[in-house]
Amino acid sequence: MTAGIDAGCVRLRIGSADGRISSVSVASERPAVASYLRGRPADDAVRLVPLLFALCGQAQGRAAALALAAARGTEVPAQLDSAIQREALREHLWRWLLDLPVLLGEVALREELVAAARWASSGQRDELAALLNDARIGALRRRLATMEDVSEPAPRLLPLLDARASLDCWPRLDADFCRMPHWQGAAAETGAIARQNNSAGTTATAFAARWLARLEELRDWASGTEKVGAGGTASAAQLSVGSGRALVETARGLLMHEIVLDGERIADYFIVAPTEWNFHPQGPLGGWLMGRDAADREALQAFAARAVAALDPCVRWELEWL
């Protein structure tokens, strides 16, 4: 976010007893961006939105513009937005070529990232497909299988929704929902694993399944087989005169913006980011950690880092021992 505004963090608090993790608290602590936008002229507020976010600024800006257009009566059916799609591809590539190798004790593929990002931006699908089939990517896939991981029952995944369909699920957003969003009254995960419908889930453990889902989304684009609903999908619907909602599928999952107008000023603004879904207090992270051996704190920290990376927050994370 811009200088002077703390982007916030995912705060993980862990307690132990008898050498085991006995309590886990997960909280996404982020600033209420709406407070910076209320009362502003609507067009000025929308122009400000992408400047407030260090990551996924394209998606944030597009969601703001679509929500405002919907509030004024212009709806948009679900469609792939090329700019948001390119941004999502770059985020996936960053994770796979920089973050994952380091997480696995390998050397980051920096030159490959530069080339791959250029191919994604310029629509060079064949070149990216060749890289994704490279032996180095295959080696990373094999290393994923050896990484300390967890098994889990089928994860609770957020279904694919467009803005119009979302109105049946959540007629209005509010501050409480923005802090802890829910699907049918319970936590649900969003992101590539949900968009891929956990296609790797039957053969991969929890962390690996989430990494592989990102890779498959890259492969779909490289092969030209991506569909509406993939990362980069955007839609908008009017709730009532003067209020509109936009849904955008970012690299990390579902982003929602809702604008309420008072004339041509922002009366209220709601944002639900993917991190609030994926790091919900009742989400998967706590279950992955509960009951683990707590004697070696360094090892536990490393395991927690892998778990957090699998869920991919858009802000920093911190671990506190209680």
Tokens of 78: 């679900």
**238 located within any domain:** yes
**4 located within any domain:** no
At 79-126, the pLDDT tens digits run 999 999 999 999 999 999 999 999 999 999 999 999 999 999 999 999
Among 219, 258, 253, 255, which residue's Cα sits nearest to residue 242? Answer: 258
Query: CATH no. for residue 250?
Result: 1.10.645.10
**117 located within any domain:** yes
How far is CA 85 from each of CA 12, 56, 199, 249, 251, rounded to the nearest angstrom? 31, 11, 21, 9, 8
**Domain containing 215: what range?**
9-321
Q: What are phi and psi of 90, to 5 degrees?
A: -60, -40
Task: Give mean pLDDT, residues 279-287.
Answer: 96
**31 located within any domain:** yes
pTM score, two decimals?
Answer: 0.95
**3 located within any domain:** no
Q: In the predicted model, what is the mean pLDDT of the chain?
A: 94
As a whole number of angstroms, the distance between CA 285 and CA 37 comes to 32
Residues in Cβ contact with 33 at an 8 Å cutoff, skipping those fewer than 6 apart: 49, 52, 269, 271
DSSP 42-106: HHHHHHHGGGG-SSSHHHHHHHHHHHHHHHTT--EEEEE-HHHHHHHHHHHHHIIIIIHHHHTT-
**2 located within any domain:** no
Residue 32 is predicted with a pLDDT of: 79
pLDDT at 1 over 60: no
Total tally of structural domains belonging to the chain: 1
**254 located within any domain:** yes
